[in-house]
A and B are shown apart, each in its own frame.
Chain A
Amino acid sequence: MQNRDTEPFFREKQTDKMVKSRLLFITCAFALFFFIIALKAAEVSVFGHDESAKKTAHGNPKIDRAEIVDRNGNLLATNLKIAGVYANPKEIIDVQETVLGLTSALVETDMKSLAQDFKKDTQFVWIKRNISPKEQQAVNDLGLPGIYFSEEITRVYPHGNLLAHILGYVNVDNEGLAGIERELNEALMWGSKEPLQLSIDVKIQHILRDELLTKLEEFQAHSASGMVVDVQTGETLAMVSLPDFDPNHPADATKEQKFNGLTLGVYEMGSIFKPITAAMAMDYGVADFNTTYDARTPLRFARQTISDYHGKKHILTLPEVIMYSSNIGTAKMALAIGTERQKEFLDKIGMLEKSEIEIPEKTAPQYPRKWKDINTITISFGHGIAVSPIHMAKAFIPLVNGGDLHPVTLLKKKDGDLTEAKKVISKTTSDKVRKLLRMVVKGGTGRNADAKGYLVGGKTGTAEKLENGKYSSTKVMSSFIGAFPMSEPRYVVIAIFDEPQQQKKYVRPTGGVVAAPVIKNIVARVGPILGIKPRFDDEAEQELYVNQWLEHAPAIVSAHN
């Protein structure tokens, strides 16, 4: 019995101990459990917000190509979401109805090929890419099953043809294939998303294109190109090559349209080269305004005969050589300079290398590998060397601005930007060239370029083209290169026409007839926009010595050019 009494007691004690330990175990387990939950709760509430925070962080991860704007901030190239329409043939219920509906809603769709596409065993068929909002609405209104829209970011050029050769174009993946788009592709794609600002002025670009196009059509020329460059900075304000194309639809463009004559075309420039020779001669000190050249008889050299087109059969002073565009006079000038120095000078003004302009479409000039004296003679008046129009424009910058050669650029210079100008001729020489160029317009072959009040100066060129190894008298390059206002030049302007056709009897399509009036119109329209104050006083002309020289000049300028 005793056992009976003690047993339960003992048992109780044991049970008590067991219960206690179990209780402790369970308590610990629960405590741990809740501790973990608390920890997790704390983590979620304190740190767990990262993901939603990321969503609200600014910016949409669109791969947007940087926009391009002109010098005044006008949009030149941008990206737009453009809809495309596609079909899932498996979901189409009535093929005929769908085809009929789509052809009525979409412009230029082919019924047959569409019907064939819809019978294919596939789940995706493009119906049309790049549809207009109107078309999208029309298709949407049809409410056809199995027809869907996609949205693609597409490069858009609102100005169409206007800047085709400057901007270039992109492929379906928005990668640049030509022009600035290609040259600066990396920067536009991955660089700053700030718009790229060009030095181009859309208004001036339009005027240049407008005038070139009018003349191109009037004279049925093959092609034409032109450029307006700031002589203080080398910034290009306008640059046109015709024919051109719509960069929104580059696939439709022909080879001729895509060809940038201004930078890719190398031509024997002819007489517009003469001011360069004159500048060279004066800068090397082998000639001055009073130097005379006997142009009475053709110059014979190494079995070649150099004669004059505007033959005056006179002894000409240097200004007269340029005014009447005498080949003989220029040739003699070049002989005085010498072959080595001519080559050195042309190299110095960038005539023997590719242009540095920011587009990939450009060619190196062509010149004789063995530069003989006969080459020196022909090169002096622009034959035997082929350069692109942009080379000419660049070379004329130091000729008129006091002697500083600027790299020609398409990008706008910021206020603080230093221009890497290179002094190539002295200020005195440049001052004399300004006077020469003004004289050509005032009393020489370039009179058609005289935009009243803007003191245009320049030089005409009519270069006969090589045809089967012979110079053709009917196929010519007619050009004019000049600057304005000559009292204090601000801009160089060039216009070149390839093979203008003779329109009137006895009027050859020369530089003076075709290109000079274009320059006149361009300057007259552009002058007010550029804020150039017109001058009608005789003072300016006096400064340029023009009148004085014209008085001296024998009255031999024929009126027909």
Chain B
Amino acid sequence: MSKTIVTWLLFILPVAMGLFYVKHIVQNLEEDLAALERSIDVDQEEVHVLKAEWTYLSRPERVKTLASKYLDLEPTTSRQIADVQVIPFSIGEGKIMTSSVEIK
């Protein structure tokens, strides 16, 4: 009788200890996870705000105003668009460009 009880105790004790140990680790990991996810949320929120701000700052209207103020550029005209073949590349360098790429 007492022998079986002792055997059972010997069996149950380490299992119980193991269980509590694992549980403890899991709990710690979950706390880490929660903290990480909270910081991800915060970061996402910040990225979100930055995206909205970027859109606001890069809206075409503003870019146009800035470009006309600071850049010496004008919109491309249809005359400036041509096929690659039309461009006379220099032959002197030993290589002749025979590109068949079409630029739209």
- A contact set with B: CB distance below 8 Å: 45-46, 49, 52-53, 55-56, 58, 60, 74-75, 78, 80-81, 156, 158-160, 162, 202-203, 206-207, 210, 451-454, 524-525, 527-528, 531-534
Cβ of A453 and Cβ of B51 under 8 Å apart? no
Extra inter-chain contacts (8) besides given A162-B60, A207-B60, A451-B78, CB under 8 Å:
A52-B30, A159-B56, A203-B60, A210-B61, A452-B79, A527-B78, A528-B81, A534-B81
Roughly how many angstroms separate A55 CA and B33 CA in the complex, as a whole number? 10
Cβ of A49 and Cβ of B78 under 8 Å apart? no
Please give, as numbers and ranges, the residues of chain B lying within 8 Å of A58 by CB-CB distance.
Answer: 37
Cβ of A206 and Cβ of B51 under 8 Å apart? no
Shortest B16–chain A CB gap in Å is 8
Cβ of B34 and Cβ of A206 under 8 Å apart? no
Cβ of B75 and Cβ of A159 under 8 Å apart? no
Roughly how many angstroms separate A247 CA and B37 CA in the complex, as a whole number? 34
Cβ of A156 and Cβ of B52 under 8 Å apart? yes
Shortest A51–chain B CB gap in Å is 11
Cβ of B59 and Cβ of A158 under 8 Å apart? yes
Instruction: Identify which of A46, A81, A159, A531 contacts B59 (C-beta below 8 A).
Output: A159
Most chain A Cβ neighbours within 10 Å, of B27, B78, B79, B104: B78
Flag whether B43 is at the interface (Cβ < 8 A): no
Which residues from 61 to 104 on chain B have a C-beta closer than 8 Å to any C-beta of chain A?
61, 64, 75-79, 81, 102, 104
Cβ of A525 and Cβ of B59 under 8 Å apart? no
Cβ of A206 and Cβ of B52 under 8 Å apart? no
Cβ of B79 and Cβ of A160 under 8 Å apart? no
Roughly how many angstroms separate A37 CA and B59 CA in the complex, as a whole number? 66
Name the CB-closest residue of A to B26. A49
Mark contacts of B34-59 with chain A using CB atoms, 8 A cut-off: 1 yes-contact digit, 0 otherwise: 10010001000100110110011001
Please give, as numbers and ranges, the residues of chain A lying within 8 Å of B34 by CB-CB distance.
Answer: 52, 55-56
Roughly how many angstroms separate A356 CA and B1 CA in the complex, as a whole number? 86
Cβ of A56 and Cβ of B37 under 8 Å apart? yes
Please give, as numbers and ranges, the residues of chain B lying within 8 Å of A527 by CB-CB distance.
Answer: 78
Shortest B2–chain A CB gap in Å is 14
Please give, as numbers and ranges, the residues of chain A lying within 8 Å of B77 by CB-CB distance.
Answer: 524
Cβ of B76 and Cβ of A56 under 8 Å apart? no
